[in-house]
Amino acid sequence: MKLLDSDIKTREILGWKGIHLLNYQFSACSMKTRIYLNLKNIPFKSHQINLSAGENFSPWFQGINPRSLVPVLIHDGDVHIESNDILQYLEGCFKNNPLIPADKQTQVSELLSFEDDLHIDIRNITFRFMVPKLLNKGKKAKPKSNDKATLHGEVDPLDDANRKFWQEYEEFGIKDEDVKESLIKMNNALKNIDSILNENDYILGSNLSVIDIAWFIYVTRIQHANYPVQDRHPNVHEWYIGLYKNKKFKDEVQIPSIMKLIIYLYALVLKIKGRGITNFLPK
Ligand SMILES: N[C@@H](CCC(=O)N[C@@H](CS)C(=O)NCC(=O)O)C(=O)O
């Protein structure tokens, strides 16, 4: 989704030449975009927006993305938001190493949109089983900036939805019924992918595509949350191991040892309390 020049209030970026990615090292959608850029050998300048410190709600960033979300692509001063739109836009610009087969553009678009719909579920699973609430304090949505970017001239409703998510998270955390629902959806999607991978090397058939990148990120994330991928979806596990061997994938999903330790200890506490992920998974 390309923004209009008049949408952008942080005007300095309009003069940026080449490819710039405003992203956060540990954000799922950012990882997806970086892996894509790596696989296509597209040189880009990465600008880190620290979500844990709430930098996505700084007036500077709010003046760029009306949704206050990463990633944002700036290509010769044009601003693009929404990770899946960014991939499809870049594929149109860079024809080398195709990752969206020309004859499957509609299917890819539908599958990316399905994946995007599950983003809230990945959030629920992450913030319920991977990141203790205490560590998410800085994530409270900061007030709307006076110079907020617009979406094609209008106020963007998805920004309010995101702010509401953080407000409810602050008050209630992730509720049992929400995370259960999210796990059902994730389990169903992975079951389906598992049966596809029983017959194919990749999700779209015999060639690697953006759909593999997108699901590689989700599988990374749910594994961190201790979802038993290998037990439940063995073909997905095999496919994942294969992709993980590639540095262009692997390097983008690394997390620091301290984060691994926190995740491990948090999972242990939840397990002892009988509130771990396995207590919520569908049969
Ligand atoms: N549909 C959007 C989702 C973007 C999104 O939710 N990004 C997250 C990181 S993965 C973010 O910026 N979160 C910051 C926040 O919620 O405050 C996309 O694909 O770009």
pLDDT tens string 179-226 = 999 999 999 999 999 999 999 999 999 999 999 999 999 999 999 999
Which atom of ligand 1 is found nearest the CA of 57? 17
Same domain, 151 and 45: no
List the CATH number of the domain containing 38.
Answer: 3.40.30.10
How much is the average pLDDT of 91-111?
97
Choice from 70, 86, 125, 144 to test ligand 1 binding pocket (greatest atom count within 8 A of CB): 70
Query: Domain end: 78, 101, 124, which one?
Result: 101
Say how many domains are in the chain. 2
Residue 215: the pLDDT is 98
For residues 283 and 266, give the distance between their C-alpha atoms in angstroms, rounded to a whole number: 24
For residues 23 and 33, give the distance between their C-alpha atoms in angstroms, rounded to a whole number: 9
How much is the average pLDDT of 26-49?
98
Task: Give the domain range for residue 79.
Answer: 5-101
Same domain, 114 and 234: yes
Residue 120: the pLDDT is 97
How much is the average pLDDT of 124-147?
86
Residue 136, pLDDT > 80, answer no
pLDDT tens for residues 43-71? 999 999 999 889 999 999 999 999 999 99
> What's the pLDDT band for 77 if we cut at 50, 70, 90?
very high
Same domain, 77 and 144: no
Task: Please state the separation of Cα 236 from the chain's center in Å.
Answer: 19
Same domain, 81 and 132: no
Residue 142, pLDDT > 90, answer no
Residue 140, pLDDT > 80, answer no
The pTM is what? Answer: 0.96
Same domain, 208 and 271: yes
Same domain, 31 and 138: no
Residue 159, pLDDT > 80, answer yes
Residue 249: the pLDDT is 98
Residues 6 or more apart in contact with residue 43 via CB below 8 angstroms: 18, 19
User: Is residue 232 lining ligand 1, measured as CB closer than 6 Å?
Assistant: no
Same domain, 128 and 258: yes
Query: Domain end: 51, 85, 101, which one?
Result: 101
User: Is residue 87 lining ligand 1, measured as CB closer than 6 Å?
Assistant: no
- Inter-residue contact 217 to 31 (CB < 8 Å): yes
Residue 137, pLDDT > 70, answer no
List the CATH number of the domain containing 214.
Answer: 1.20.1050
- Inter-residue contact 73 to 16 (CB < 8 Å): no
Residue 4, pLDDT > 60, answer yes
Residue 138: the pLDDT is 57
Same domain, 95 and 115: no
For residues 32 and 184, give the distance between their C-alpha atoms in angstroms, rounded to a whole number: 23
Same domain, 118 and 83: no
How much is the average pLDDT of 249-256?
97
Q: Whose CA is nearest to atom 2 of ligand 1?
A: 82
Same domain, 173 and 219: yes
Residue 279: the pLDDT is 96
Q: Whose CA is nearest to atom 15 of ligand 1?
A: 69
Residue 139: the pLDDT is 64
Distinct helix (H) and strand (E) counts, the chain: 12, 4
Query: Domain end: 66, 101, 136, which one?
Result: 101
> What's the pLDDT band for 79 if we cut at 50, 70, 90?
very high
Which atom of ligand 1 is found nearest the CA of 70? 12
Count the neighbouring beta carbons within 10 Å of the beta carbon of residue 135: 12
Same domain, 161 and 81: no
Same domain, 165 and 229: yes
